[in-house]
Amino acid sequence: MKKILLLLVVGFLVLNGLEAVALNANNNSQLLVYKTGTASLSDELDQSQAVMTTDAFLPVGQVPVPENPINVQAAQSFIPTKEILTRVELLIGKNSTATHPYVLAIREELNGSDLTLTNTEPAQVPTEEFGWVEIDFDDIMVTTSQTYYIVSYTDNITDNFYGWGANNISTSYPHGCAWISIDDGSTWSNKSTLSSSNSVETRVNLGGQARDDPITWDTCFKTYGRDNSPPETPTIDGPTKGKVGVEHTYCIINATDPDGDELWVFWDWGDGTNSSWLGPYISGEDICASHTWDEKGDYIIQVKLRDEYGAIVTASLEVTMPRNRIFNLTLLFLRFFEQHPQMFPILRCVLGL
């Protein structure tokens, strides 16, 4: 990615149009050995395209075309097979003068909102060569078989320039392709399908020469993920018989999520009242709640346990609330003396009051 070579390549772009942008790396570019960074719980490699065509990459940042710099963003579409996306790795490098962070977003649409957004400082990215850089973020829930986009950009500052390694000579990744924007992400160009015409990318890749066979563009990327395990089905611990008008306490002992996810709980007391979702609770914690029934009857307590990714399990417990006899006998006793006030002096005499 030396400036002299960069300007020569940009010259090809100017001559051949700006429908899309695809640059060449310097001949000294090399892949760094993959290093495992801090990973989320039990994640696995999901989607990847790890082969970089010699000297091919997509620019990210301000490409220094003389008197008319181009602000370039790059993206790669992919289809996950894991329910939770935990991190990605990109084969990227930077110009020696890059001073602003490399920004990565995951989106459902190229122009949509960010599902997650994270900055990678320049010091974490190899200079004048390419290396695998791990970019970690808070785990996000995704829909398997749906297309998502890894979107990369940086501040449009002079000489702030990154490159994203690419493959442009084969159908290297069957579930997506590379995208380019030269207007700060407002519009995107996809020249990376088998049906694309042999235009700008072909001529730039071959130094202006034409080729007849179709080509595709994919960046070098790896996504990691895991499937979500629901919480363990809880058991409600508490009395199955009680008294009307008396508060009773019920607990989920050792509420557990196999993935260690945080938990929320919802109590339905069977009498038309319920709680909101309460939490978060730590996996392995005892979760308790209290309730008072106002009428005699049989009730079914239902409790729902939900992890932070929406997986829900349910448990129930049938309870019986008979009449509070002490309370009712006292009430009858008082009513008797209301109806027979003459008996009160007699009672006082008997009790020695």
Q: Give the predicted TM-score (pTM) of the model.
A: 0.72
What is the C-alpha R_g of the chain? 33
Asked whether residue 333 is domain-assigned, the answer is no
Give the list of residues 6+ apart from residue 305 with CB closer than 8 angstroms, or none.
231, 233, 234, 252, 255, 263, 264, 265, 312, 313, 314, 315
In a domain, 327, yes or no: no
| Residues 35 and 141 both lie in one domain | yes
Kindly report the CATH number assigned to the domain that includes residue 245.
2.60.40.10
Is there a contact between 105 and 117 (Cβ–Cβ < 8 Å)?
A: yes
Q: Which of 3, 19, 5 is nearest to 207 (CA)?
A: 5
Same domain, 165 and 278: no
* Contact of 47 with 220, CB cutoff 8 Å: no
What is the maximum alpha-carbon separation in the chain? 121
> Does residue 241 share a domain with residue 201?
no
Decide: residue 51, CB within 10 A, 0-12 exposed, 13-18 middle, 19+ buried: middle
Residues 199 and 312 in one domain: no
161 and 81 co-located in one domain: yes
The answer as to whether 331 is a domain residue is no
Nearest to 31 by CA among 141, 173, 181, 131: 131
Phi, psi for residue 279 in degrees, rounded to 5: 155, -170
* 8 Å CB contact between 173 and 78: yes
Does a structural domain hold residue 332? no
Whether residue 328 is contained in a domain is answered as no
| pLDDT (0 to 100) of residue 65 | 76
Q: Do both 130 and 174 map to the same domain? A: yes
**Residue 330, in any domain of the structure:** no
123 and 36, same structural domain? yes
The SS3 assignment for 204 reads helix
pLDDT tens for the chain, 353 residues long, are 444 334 334 433 432 333 344 444 443 333 333 233 333 468 999 999 999 998 899 999 998 777 788 899 999 999 999 999 999 999 999 999 999 999 999 999 999 999 999 999 999 999 999 999 999 999 999 999 999 999 999 999 988 999 999 998 767 899 999 999 999 999 998 765 444 443 434 333 433 334 444 557 999 999 999 999 999 999 999 999 999 999 999 999 999 999 999 999 999 999 999 999 999 999 999 999 999 999 999 999 999 999 999 999 999 999 999 965 544 555 555 666 567 666 656 656 656 66
Residue 103, domain member (yes or no): yes
* Nearest of 174, 217, 197, 223 to residue 59 by alpha carbon: 217
pLDDT at position 172 is 84
Same domain assignment for residues 265 and 219 = no
Same domain, 72 and 207: yes
Inter-axis angle of helices 343-351 and 325-339, nearest 10: 120
Domain end residue (candidates: 226, 244, 266): 226
- Separation CA 202–CA 289 (nearest Å): 67
- Same domain? For 135 and 279 the reply is no
What per-residue confidence (pLDDT) applies to 97?
Answer: 92
Does one domain contain both 275 and 137? no
* pLDDT of res. 2: 43
Q: Which domain holds residue 300?
A: 236-322
Q: Domain count for the chain, please give it.
A: 2
- The stretches of the chain forming alpha helices (DSSP H) are 3-16, 200-205, 325-339, 343-351
* Helices and strands, number each (H, E), in the chain: 4, 20
CA angle at 245 for the pair 272 and 330, rounded to the nearest 5°: 145
Residues 6+ apart with CB under 8 A from 4: none
Judged on CB neighbours under 10 Å (0-12, 13-18, 19+), 129 is middle
Residue 122 sits at φ, ψ, to 5 deg, of -55, -35
End-to-end CA distance of the chain: 104
Instruction: Kindly state whether residue 353 falls inside one of the protein's structural domains.
Output: no
The candidate with the shortest Cα–Cα distance to 180, out of 159, 207, 149, is 149
Q: Are 22 and 90 contained in the same domain?
A: yes
Burial state string for 15-35 with b = 16 or more CB within 10 A and e = fewer than 16: eeeeebbbbbbbeebebeeee
Provide the pLDDT for residue 116: 97
